[in-house]
Amino acid sequence: MARINDNFLKLKAGYLFPEIARRVNAFCEANPSANVIKLGIGDVTEPLPPAIVHAMHSAVDEMANRDTFRGYGPEQGYAFLRDAISENDYKSRGAEIESDEIFVSDGSKCDSGNILDIFGTDNKVAITDPVYPVYVDTNVMSGRTGKAGDNGRFEGLVYLPVTEENNFVAALPDQRVDLIYLCYPNNPTGTVASRETLQMWVDYAKTNDSIIFFDAAYEAFITDDSIPHSIYEIEGARDVAIEFRSFSKNAGFTGTRCAFTVVPKSLHGKTATGESKPIHALWNRRHCTKFNGVSYPIQRSAAAAYSPEGKQQIAELIKFYMTNAQLLREGLEQAGITVYGGVNAPYVWLKTPQGASSWEFFDQLLEKSHLVGTPGSGFGASGEGYFRLSAFNSRANVEEAVKRVQLLVG
Ligand code: MLT
């Protein structure tokens, strides 16, 4: 019999979002007439912007013509997209990231898990808590942790709590760590990191020879001009950070799939014998071996996000979701609920009313109000007593959801 990867057995039975979907489906089957509104998973609801759709159609037409048909593209992505990313997302914000430091992919979830392939299993890993569960689960799968304790925390990981007690700013680890996951604007808390906070992390990484995995999938939702959109806006970050970005949430690509990862050429790690090696070459090697590139029509449509029409249409889309976030925030506050996030991020992070546990509140909301959110404890032990609502939905559903919460807790 073939030997399995036993590390998978250390994981909780189901990944958070499929587990929520399972519970919701069971509820819907038992209550077929219930009008359930889902503000759980952060999945976009509005159609792709017209400029993007137009570019996708044109690219499909090119693929239908012998003269313009394309087979395999460059694994790292077409130059037209990488150049647009380098110019618009980085150079225009004063961050010197070159096109050949950008690797186009089919998702930040995949990349933030796959990146572990190129790092040794004996690295000490720090994560904030609560956190996007992919960071934890992929470390468990690859054997970088021990077993989970009663509170769900895995032996071997360094957890950095982010709660209202520390204003959702993680303290630096009290021991040396090799790899640090940071996500800003933050999923799930919807909070952001100031320039000073990010500088503190970059300085820590420099001093300790650590590498930061910076997930900036929600940067487009930043409304406060003083907040950096990229870690590379911070002095010295090129030497200590990898950044993950996505078209999922800003341009509506959750079903279309396009993202990218930035690995600066100046970033180094060390071999078992202490020799310094560039990380870029390793990621390039991994990417070329295990990935054949994102399809041409999708890359063309992603590039259209940077056209003048694309930029304007995306700005409208973001404004739409952020108005939803504002309605959620204000409506919950009126109901006496303490709310965080939702100002520079499409997630609202609330304290569960009357001290209910996160899953108790999930059940109450589902059974009494026919609303779905995400229990904070699903993101980590420090998320217990909190709950996440996503602003990704229609206006009518968000307004209805607010009324239902007010009715439940008001
Ligand atoms: C979330 O709800 O946290 C996100 O949709 C998850 C993801 O982007 O994979």
- Our answer on whether the CB atom of 42 is closer than 6 Å to any ligand 1 atom is yes
Give, using CA atoms, the residue closest to atom 1 of ligand 1. Answer: 42
Indicate which atom in ligand 1 lies nearest the CA of residue 248.
8
Domain 53-308 has CATH 2.40.30.10: no
**Residue 94: which of 234, 233, 214, 241 has the closest Cα?**
233
pLDDT averaged over the chain? Answer: 96
User: Residue 347 C-alpha to ligand 1 middle, in angstroms?
Assistant: 10
User: Residue 233 C-alpha to ligand 1 middle, in angstroms?
Assistant: 25
For the segment 219-254, what is each residue's pLDDT rounded down to a tens digit?
999 999 999 999 999 999 999 999 999 999 999 999
Q: SS3 for 280?
A: helix
Q: What is the pLDDT of residue 365?
A: 96
Instruction: Domain ranges for the chain, please list them.
Output: 9-47+311-409, 53-308
Indicate which atom in ligand 1 lies nearest the CA of residue 17.
2
Pull the structure tokens for residue 291. Answer: 């990935």
In the CATH hierarchy, which fold is given to the domain comprising 9-47+311-409?
Aspartate Aminotransferase, domain 1 (3.90.1150)
Q: What is the pLDDT of residue 198?
A: 98
Q: Containing H/E element for 197?
A: helix 195-208
Q: Look up tokens 């799930």; give the residue.
A: 188
Q: What is the pLDDT of residue 265?
A: 98
* Burial label, 397 (beta-carbon count in 10 A; 0-12, 13-18, 19+): middle
Distance of alpha carbon 129 from alpha carbon 301, whole angstroms: 35
- Our answer on whether the CB atom of 187 is closer than 6 Å to any ligand 1 atom is yes
Indicate which atom in ligand 1 lies nearest the CA of residue 246.
8
Exposure class string for 30-60: b at 16+ Cβ within 10 A, else e:
eeeeeeebbbbbbebbeebbebbebbbeebe
For the segment 336-377, what is each residue's pLDDT rounded down to a tens digit?
999 999 999 999 999 999 999 999 999 999 999 999 999 999
User: Residue 42 C-alpha to ligand 1 middle, in angstroms?
Assistant: 5
User: Residue 69 C-alpha to ligand 1 middle, in angstroms?
Assistant: 34
**Residue 234: which of 195, 192, 188 has the closest Cα?**
195
* Burial label, 150 (beta-carbon count in 10 A; 0-12, 13-18, 19+): exposed
Q: What is the pLDDT of residue 18?
A: 85
Give, using CA atoms, the residue closest to atom 4 of ligand 1. Answer: 42
Distance of alpha carbon 230 from alpha carbon 214, whole angstroms: 8
For the segment 131-162, what is each residue's pLDDT rounded down to a tens digit?
999 999 999 999 999 999 988 899 999 999 99
Distance of alpha carbon 179 from alpha carbon 123, whole angstroms: 7
Q: Angle, to 10 degrees, between the axis of helix 16-30 and the axis of helix 358-369?
A: 30
The percent of residues in the chain predicted with pLDDT above 70, rounded, is 100
The whole-number average pLDDT for the span 187-207 is 98
Answer yes or no: is pLDDT of 14 > 80: no
The whole-number average pLDDT for the span 190-196 is 97
User: Residue 90 C-alpha to ligand 1 middle, in angstroms?
Assistant: 24
Q: Containing H/E element for 386?
A: strand 386-390
For the segment 263-292, what is each residue's pLDDT rounded down to a tens digit?
999 999 999 999 999 999 999 999 999 999
- Our answer on whether the CB atom of 38 is closer than 6 Å to any ligand 1 atom is no
pTM of the model: 0.97
Distance of alpha carbon 74 from alpha carbon 78, whole angstroms: 6
- Our answer on whether the CB atom of 41 is closer than 6 Å to any ligand 1 atom is yes
SS3 percent helix, strand, coil of the chain, rounded to 5, is 45, 15, 40
Distance of alpha carbon 350 from alpha carbon 175, whole angstroms: 31
